[in-house]
Amino acid sequence: MPIRSTSYAASHVVSYAAPGADPLLDPLLAPLLDPYSDPHSAPYAVPGTARRAPGGPVARMLRARHSPRRHRAAVQALAHLAEPESWLDVGTGLGRLPVAAKDVLPYTAYDGTDPGPAVEAARDAGHVEEAHRGRLPDLAPRLAGRYDVVSMVHHLERVPDARAELAAARTVLRPGGHLLIEASDPGSRGARLLGRWWLPRAGARHPHLLPLAALHDTLDELGLTVVDVERRAPHLPLDLTGATVLLLDRALPRARLARRVCAWAVAPLPALVHVLERLLTPLLVRTGFANAYRVVACRDTDTHTHTDADADADTDTDADVDTGT
């Protein structure tokens, strides 16, 4: 199947990793974040007090990526390629994507994974049928070949090993199944111009903001063929707004009372910037400033690639045969 792409120029999709570096690491974030540290105590990429706490301004703005409208758009991008019977949403949290997906594909069975207890709450609420608590690379051997679709919507930015997650996704997919990925694009012009003040970098726990070219190459190595690329629809008009909030946060005085007074005084500025940014969105997404991408890849039906997760699954199967199960 030919790849459908809305990239504004082929020359824009380039890998800019240093020779010998991991191509899946954002070259600006990699020196700032320790990939081996606890994700809840990882150093903050942007100085200031707008921490990545659940109620902080960075977290509040980034939550806009998970609106029902955006989730439905992602599902619709997959629905025109396939009508899946089974769907695994990786990093599902409370199951917001499966809830939105049911409006588009009501007859699909949705399961979810998440390292925390939220996935069990999603199951109890009826948002997913099966809740798998843990990280996908650990769960993959017992879920091998079960799913027609695996979705990773702004998930790879939040994991310590993006390649392991992608390999595990291939393992749990059936041959011919589809992998749906949405991720922030560190190769966008906005990301390069704003540097560390680019909002997704401010919210990153790990240095896996994946350049599209590097993701494409990694998927190909794993036996996943890219069949659809969308650069415009996933764009979130918060680059200038986020940078404004982060810069104001850094500039405000530290003293609590003075900070509160100054915050009220400058509060209209981010709102005005956001209005301007939304008005400019049609132009920005056509000139290389689209800050996210959506990729759909299909698991190859042949077996030319054998991943580590596949090997683990095969080992488990052999063990079952040996024990007569």
Per-residue pLDDT band for 47 (boundaries 50, 70, 90) equals very low
What pLDDT is stored for residue 255 in this prediction? 86
**Residue with more model confidence, 138 or 208:** 138
Backbone angles phi, psi at 129, to 5 degrees: -85, -45
Is 158 among the domain residues? Answer: yes
Is residue 322 included in any domain, yes or no? Answer: yes
pLDDT, the chain, mean? 80
Question: In what order do the strands lie in the sheet containing 292-299?
Answer: 4-5, 224-230, 292-299, 173-184, 147-153, 86-90, 109-114, 130-133
Q: Considering the domain boundaries, does residue 263 fall inside one?
A: no
Residue with tokens 């699954």: 313
Q: Is residue 288, in this structure, part of any structural domain at all? A: no
- Parent domain of 308: 1-8+67-186+200-235+295-325
Per-residue pLDDT band for 259 (boundaries 50, 70, 90) equals confident
pLDDT in tens, 54-100: 456 666 666 667 788 889 999 999 998 889 999 999 999 999 999 99
pLDDT of residue 201: 85
- Is 103 inside a domain boundary? yes
pLDDT digits (tens, 9 = 90+) for 260-286: 888 888 888 988 998 999 999 999 999
Closest CA to 169 of 184, 159, 183, 180: 180
Among residues 80, 65, 86, 72, which one has the least CA distance to residue 4?
Answer: 80
The model's pTM is 0.77
Q: How many CA atoms lie within 13 A of 182 on its CB side?
A: 27
**CATH code, domain carrying 138:** 3.40.50.150
Task: Give domain status of residue 287, yes or no.
Answer: no
Q: Which pair of tokens denotes residue 36?
A: 């081996």
Residue range 90-134, pLDDT digits in tens: 999 999 999 999 999 999 999 999 999 999 999 999 999 999 999
Q: How many domains does the chain have?
A: 1
**Is 177 within a domain?**
yes
Let me know: does 93 contact 118? Beta carbons within 8 Å: yes
User: So what's the pLDDT on residue 230?
Assistant: 94
In a domain, 316, yes or no: yes
Instruction: Report d(CA 325, CA 321) in Å as an integer.
Output: 6
